[in-house]
Structure 1
Amino acid sequence: MEKKVVLVTGASGYLGGRLCRALFNSGHHVKAFVRRTSDVSSLTPPTDGGSNGGTLELVYGDVTDYQSLLQACSGCHVIFHAAALVEHWLPDPSRFFPVNVGGLKNVLQAYKEAGTIEKIVYTSSFFALGPTDGYVADETQIHPGKFFCTEYEKSKAIADKVALDAASEGLPIVLVYPGVIYGPGKVTTANTVANIMIERFNGRLPGYTGQANDRCSFSHVDDVVDGHIAAMDKGKPGERYLLTGQNASLKEVLDIAAMITQTKKPSFGIPIFILEVYGWISVLLSKINGKSPLISPPMVRVIKHQWSYSCDKAKAELDYHPRSLKEGLSEVLPWLKNLGLIKY
């Protein structure tokens, strides 16, 4: 395999950190693009050479600061654009667009100016395709744009159009769409499943949330990382690949967790109107204590819809092999237990 100089934006994030480590372990020279205020504890320590020839270099800047991004692109062959503001609610929703849309536009401009970049792998989101109420969607789905559950969803749908327009102009961009990412790593807002398990096993989530037919596509973080690297090696420019996994309801997720831990399953469902009230209260408390709410009105709107997708194309073209929820949660739950975040 040819060793490349790769830039990873969002390198200090939940997905970005694990992507940097995998690229480093594959022997590439990794430029980890981080802000000076970022927590870089999840990144492999900067080094001048691993046993496999991989190197990791911290490069400081921000995707909203074009000059710092352009400088970071110097000498790079591949950009993994994984930087995004991932929250279901923010007190100032306008913050999503400079990062999620403006950041992508800056990456595309930097590609044109840098002159050495052979491929861009852009991390989108299943949200960019829109809900799938009553069916399973594939890469042909375009977000209808008639309504958005969250401002994050809206920003990713707009960015998706920017990326597709760039592809139509001939830019070598490959679009990948993870599902709900879960697995070991940083317990950030983006690690939704870990947060749900923490609430469940600490007694703060006594019942099922959502509706009987709600479904999401769950992707283990390491499968998504493998999919990104395969998109660099095998992905066709201009193509979209769903890096999703098992489609399941939140009830099924909690039932699998109960089976793995040999604990009692939740015995009742929490009605949507209760979640809506709790969401509004959580947002009000968030404005006081500054902590991100676990549930918010936009998150409740997400729960009211289905988000089921097929990853058959990625399986066929990228050799993508997502693990089952049972397999993934069998790793996540002991990990959370060892951290002291849950007990069972």
Structure 2
Amino acid sequence: MSMEDNKRKKKVALVTGASGFLGSRICGELLRQGYSVKGFDITVLPRSRGHDDVVSPAYSNFELVVGDVTDYASLKKACSGCHVIFHVAAIVESWIPRPSGFMAVNVGGLRNVVRAYKETKTVEKIIYTSSFFALGFTDGHVADETQMHSGKYFCSEYERSKAMADEIALEAAREEGVAMVLLYPGLIYGVGNLTSGNTVANWLVERFNGRLPGYVGQEKAFSFSHVDDVARGHVAAMTKGRLGERYLLSGENASIKDVFDIAAEITHTQKPQFRIPIFVLAVYGWICIFFCKFISQKHPLVTPQAVDISRHQWAYSCEKAKAELDYNPRSLKEGLTEMVPWLKDIGLIKY
């Protein structure tokens, strides 16, 4: 083991939300690069089918701690002996039955992480995972890190919570002296845990099972970020990111139509032939909410909030991250070429 490898192994990173779609990949990337990792999560999710999420017992320098970012005592205890906190944990949904959960986890969790940083002598910095939603929609232009959320309108309580957390993070970093780098991924997709945060995978499952037969949303509706690119961007931010700075870890700006068309090309199947009207989706969203509340208890894919999000464009530039973090996002086609066959291999779609 080289001196540099030994130095990395002695550096301990705490990753909140370690069992999640992105958190598990950040753990894996840190381990691959030789760091010691302490994963922190409220529960241990089952490993995704047909894919190695890299957080393996084979890594002697990995420890999983069960805890909750809203429980300060468990978080403070987990921070002991750690040098860097990757704060990834969040509720990533367009809707939940108890909306207060967004503020408790997404805002309260960040406040607890900042407090733990201040009260734990070993912690040197925080790498905070925000969201493109914290910057607001971009209708008609491509935004960069200078965009601030207007605060006038929110499509969802998730968006509101991330915008509020962004204000807290910026204040902590720029006015309170907290050593923090702020990261803003785009719409994350890729092979891995099929949580509700893996939105593109869920879209494709619905599309190929006939439950989402047409196009929805705007042109350049989202900035698509592959989960592995985002994970590498996080680890790079630990050593290359400037404290107090914001970095967009976005990707190709494209539409849901582009996703479905590329998927059709990959699978040699027919592209959708029509666009689903927004009002139809809105009605369907309310029906899904009703079923979730009173019948199935299964989280709905389509919600009125998700429909509202689809009315807008969320297009961003990652030039700053490319220049300063050596961030290198892959194309949407490259990412989907890996992802679509995987969904078939694990039996979720047929073509």
Q: Does 1:65 align with 2:65?
A: no
Q: Does 1:134 align with 2:140?
A: yes
**Structure 2 counterparts to residues 208-223 of structure 1, below 5 A:** 208-211=215-218, 213=219, 215-223=221-229
Whether the 8 Å CA contact 2:93–2:158 is kept in 1: the answer is yes
1:194 is matched with: 201
Deviation at 1:60, TM superposition (A): 2.0
SS in 2 for 1:101: helix
Which of 120, 124, 128 is 1:122 aligned to? 128
**Structure 2 counterparts to residues 64-143 of structure 1, below 5 A:** 64-143=70-149
1:45 is matched with: 56
Whether the 8 Å CA contact 2:31–2:59 is kept in 1: the answer is no
Deviation at 1:46, TM superposition (A): 3.3
CA–CA separation in structure 2 for the residues paired with 1:123 and 1:255: 30
2:262 is matched with: 256
Deviations 1:221-263 (A, max 9, x none): 0000010001001001100000000000111111111111111
Distance 1:149 1:82, change over 3 A: same
Q: Read off the aligned partner of 2:349 and give its amino acid letter.
A: I
Q: Does 1:10 align with 2:24?
A: no
Deviates most, 219-228 or 168-177 = 168-177
CA–CA separation in structure 1 for the residues paired with 2:126 and 2:27: 15
Q: Read off the aligned partner of 2:284 and give its amino acid letter.
A: Y
Deviations 1:282-311 (A, max 9, x none): 111111211111100000100000000000
> How much is the aligned-residue C-alpha RMSD, in angstroms?
1.1
CA–CA separation in structure 1 for the residues paired with 2:225 and 2:79: 29
Deviation at 1:205, TM superposition (A): 1.2
Q: Read off the aligned partner of 2:270 and give its amino acid letter.
A: K
Which of 234, 243, 249 is 1:237 aligned to? 243
Which of 156, 180, 191 is 1:184 aligned to? 191
1:52 is matched with: none
Deviation at 1:214, TM superposition (A): 5.1
CA–CA separation in structure 2 for the residues paired with 1:124 and 1:219: 14
1:290 is matched with: 297
Deviations 1:70-114 (A, max 9, x none): 111111110000000111111111111110000000000000110
SS in 2 for 1:342: coil
Distance 1:312 1:48, change over 3 A: closer
CA–CA separation in structure 2 for the residues paired with 1:252 and 1:58: 38
Q: Read off the aligned partner of 1:34 and give its amino acid letter.
A: D
SS in 2 for 1:223: helix
SS in 2 for 1:7: strand
1:269 is matched with: 275
Provide the identity percentage.
64
Distance 1:40 1:79, change over 3 A: farther
Gaps of 5+ in 2: 48-52
Q: TM-score, normalised by structure 1?
A: 0.96
Gaps of 5+ in 1: 50-54
Which of 18, 23, 33 is 2:30 aligned to? 23
Deviation at 1:215, TM superposition (A): 1.4
CA–CA separation in structure 1 for the residues paired with 2:212 and 2:152: 32
SS in 1 for 2:70: coil
Q: Does 1:341 align with 2:348?
A: yes
Q: TM-score, normalised by structure 2?
A: 0.94
CA–CA separation in structure 2 for the residues paired with 1:48 and 1:279: 43
